[in-house]
A and B are shown apart, each in its own frame.
Chain A
Amino acid sequence: MKLLKYISFFAATILFSCSFNDDTPIQINEAKDLILVQEIQNEAHSIKIFTEDGKLEQGYNKIYFQIKDEEDFISNAEVSWTPVMHMEAMSHSGPHSEINKKAGTETLYEGYIIFQMAQNNTEYWELDFNYSVAGQEYSAKDIIEVIPTERNRVSVFTGSDGVRYIAVLIEPQAPKVAVNDISAAIFRMENMMSFPMVNSYTLKTDPRMPSMGNHSSPNNEDLFQAGLDDFYHGKLSLTMSGYWKINLQLLNEAGEVLKGEEVTETNESSSIYFEIEF
Chain B
Amino acid sequence: MKKYLIFWLVFTFSFGIRAQEKHAKKQDSLIIPQELTEVILIGKKSNKHHLENKSLATIETYLEEANAVDFIKRGAYAWEPMIQGMASERSVVTIDGMRIYAACTDKMDPITSYVEISNLAKAEIKKGQAGAENGATIGGAIDLERQKSEFENTGWSGNAQSGIESINEQKILGAALQYASNKVFTDIDFMYRDAENYKAGGDKEINYSQFTKYNFSATSGFKLKENKSIEASFIFDEARDVGYPALPMDVSLARAYIGSLEYITNSEYGFFKEWRTKIYYNDVTHIMDDSQRPDVPIRMDMPGWSKTAGMYSKLKGTTKKHTWDLSLNGHFNKSLAEMTMFPEDPNEKDMFMLTWPDVNTIYTGFFGKDLYQINKEFSTEISLGMGVHNNNIQNKFGLESLRIFYPEMEDSNTRFLLNTGAQLNLSTHPWTLSIGLGYGERAPSVSEAYGFYLFNSFDGFDYIGNPNMRNEKSSEINISTHYEHKSFSLSFNSSLYHISDYIIGKPDPSLSPMNIGINGVKVYEQLAHAKLWSNDIQITYSFLKDFTAKAKAVYRLGRDDSNTNLPLVQPFTFEAGLRYRKNSFYAEANVESATKQFDYSPEFGENQTPAYSVVNLALSKILYVNTQKMVLKVGGENLFDEYYSTYSDWNNIPRPGRNLYANLIYSF
Binding site for B on A (CB under 8 A): 176-179, 209, 211-213, 215-219, 237-243, 277-278
Contacts and interface: CB of A to CB of B under 8 A. Distances in A.
B352 A179 contact: no
B404 A213 contact: no
Contacts of A209: 351, 514
B268 interface: no
A271 B52 CA distance: 69
Contact of B343 (A178, A218, A243): A243
Given A211-B298, A212-B298, A177 B353 contact: yes
A101 B517 CA distance: 53
Contacts, number: 87
A243 B405 CA distance: 20
Interface residues of B, number: 31
A163 to B, nearest CB: 32
13 contacts: A177-B397, A178-B400, A209-B351, A209-B514, A213-B513, A215-B514, A218-B404, A238-B404, A239-B452, A240-B341, A240-B352, A241-B352, A243-B343
B47 interface: no
> 10 nearest interchain CB pairs?
A242-B351, A178-B400, A213-B516, A211-B343, A240-B353, A216-B512, A241-B352, A237-B404, A215-B512, A243-B348
Contact of B400 (A176, A211, A216, A243): A176
Interface of B: 297-298, 339, 341, 343-345, 348-354, 397, 400-401, 403-405, 407, 452-453, 510-517
Contacts of B403: 178-179
A277 B512 CA distance: 20
Contact of A277 (B297, B349, B516): B349
Contacts of A238: 404
A178 B351 contact: no
A216 to B, nearest CB: 4
Contacts of A212: 298, 341, 343, 351, 514-516
B345 A211 contact: yes
B28 to A, nearest CB: 64
A240 B400 contact: no
A209 B516 CA distance: 11
Contacts of B350: 241-242
Contacts of A239: 353, 401, 404, 452-453, 514
A175 to B, nearest CB: 11
Contact of A243 (B349, B407, B513): B349
A241 B405 contact: no
A177 B401 contact: yes
Given A177-B397, A211-B298, A241 B353 contact: yes
Greatest chain B CB density within 10 A among A212, A216, A277, A278 is at A212
Nearest to B453: A239
Contacts of B345: 211
B400 A219 contact: no
A239 B405 CA distance: 10
A178 B401 contact: yes
Greatest chain B CB density within 10 A among A217, A219, A239 is at A239
